[in-house]
Chain A
Amino acid sequence: MRALSVTVFTLSLVFAAHGQESPYIVTYDHHLEEPGNLEIETFSTAGIPRSGQQFYFAPYTELEYGVTARWTTELYIEGQSTAGDSTVFTGWRSEHRFRPFAREHAINPVLYLEYESINEASRIQKEIVGHAPEFNEPNSELTQTHARELETKLILSSTVHDWNLAENFIVEKNLSEDEGFEFGYAFGISHPLATLASADECRFCRENFTAGIELYGGLGSTEQFGFRDTAHYAAPVVAWRLSDNATLHFSPAIGLTRQSNPLLLRFGYSYEFRGFGDKLARLFGAKP
């Protein structure tokens, strides 16, 4: 298990960004992975916790594949390291996004379904749902509590004069325990820094940067719905396209409630393998 955790960490240091790269880290917009492309992403969440709690670092690696122009599938593996405690593997997730409508509309819905097999030590906070977790228990105890969870999202996203507006409404059900349904939300707005592409390849020109802001948090559960004891964050985001295939992401998320971490530093790198599906098929003898 320790070897697997180390692998997750190593991958996260080596890798961490799309043709149409969204700057968001938590919020989803309606742009799916292009068919046949594989994107490898590694993100990390570094948590600056409340007083008396320990700093933690939670990396995750994500494989995102465009099955069709309407369907994108992803696999995550994640880990976590807490200062003065230990480094642990915290589980895996499998998610699918479906685009029901063929054409672009004023509001574009995407349906999202995710299965999670994680333990309570998970700290990646890819989504914030339910009530805010306590970060006081040691990893050795937290890893003993496994959770199989089913998560659905309604993703709504619009493009208005090159602004992207995205809204995610989240419902999560822990299949391992009777906790009712947990709710959460994520909103994002972003805009490229330049809308015209220059003739030459350039690394630092404005067209390679997209900036925005995310707002996300939990909304309690069916047992206690609302803002009480929930975590909420406001997070500026910036994405920097390093090349045709690679993008860097950075987002400092500022906690808005007493139950939130004061600061979450999120950063990541993504690399896209174009035509991966075809290359893989040729490897197994398919004709070009």
Chain B
Amino acid sequence: MMRLTVICLGVVVAIAGAENPSYKPDDDWQAPAAAVARPNPLANKPQAAQGGRKLFMRNCAECHGEDAMGMGKKHSANLRLAAVQSQSDGSLFWKITNGNVDKGMPPFSGLPEMQRWQIVLYIRTLRPRP
């Protein structure tokens, strides 16, 4: 029982350590106004977010974590934070498309456009965690 408790504590500490609560947005990484204003063409298809989750796990979870809480070592964003969620769909789409290569985030323009919108749709389903 003692051993199980130690293992559980270890897992909790590891997960907490992997998060990036100190994430600060890169002020220089801003989508142009035209991109910010783009609406998500899948906005009325919430079921597409499930496909977005699959794509997120395949392409984004490596750096942002499967729980999308960000990873301190990778300096990756906690996608549940208000600083991310307050951005427009168009802004998130632009950031996924272009990446921020000098800060380590690759561009994902190789994914079909609709799949990038699906990822945006999935990000919108994420809620802040205590």
Binding site for B on A (CB under 8 A): 18-22, 29, 31-32, 34-37, 66, 68-70, 99, 102-104, 159, 161-162, 164, 192, 195-201, 244, 274-275, 278, 288
Contacts and interface: CB of A to CB of B under 8 A. Distances in A.
Contact of A288 (B18, B50, B105, B113): B18
B67 interface: no
Contact of B108 (A20, A29, A288): A20
Contact of B111 (A20, A22, A66, A102): A20
B98 A20 contact: no
Given A195-B112, A199-B51, A35 B106 contact: yes
B52 A69 contact: no
B52 to A, nearest CB: 7
B52 A197 contact: yes
A199 B50 contact: yes
A100 to B, nearest CB: 10
Given A22-B110, A195-B114, 11 more contacts: A18-B110, A34-B62, A69-B101, A69-B105, A69-B106, A102-B101, A104-B98, A104-B107, A164-B110, A274-B62, A288-B18
A196 B114 contact: yes
Interface string B11-23: 0001001100000
Interface in B6-61: 14, 17-18, 47-48, 50-55, 57-59
B18 A195 contact: no
B96 to A, nearest CB: 11
B58 A19 contact: yes
B78 interface: no
A244 B58 contact: yes
Nearest to A18: B110
Contacts of A20: 59, 108-111
B111 A103 contact: no
B110 A195 contact: no
22 contacts: A19-B58, A19-B108, A19-B110, A19-B111, A20-B109, A20-B110, A34-B106, A36-B62, A70-B102, A102-B100, A104-B98, A159-B110, A162-B113, A195-B115, A196-B118, A197-B51, A197-B52, A197-B54, A198-B51, A199-B50, A199-B54, A288-B14
B97 interface: yes
Contacts of B18: 288
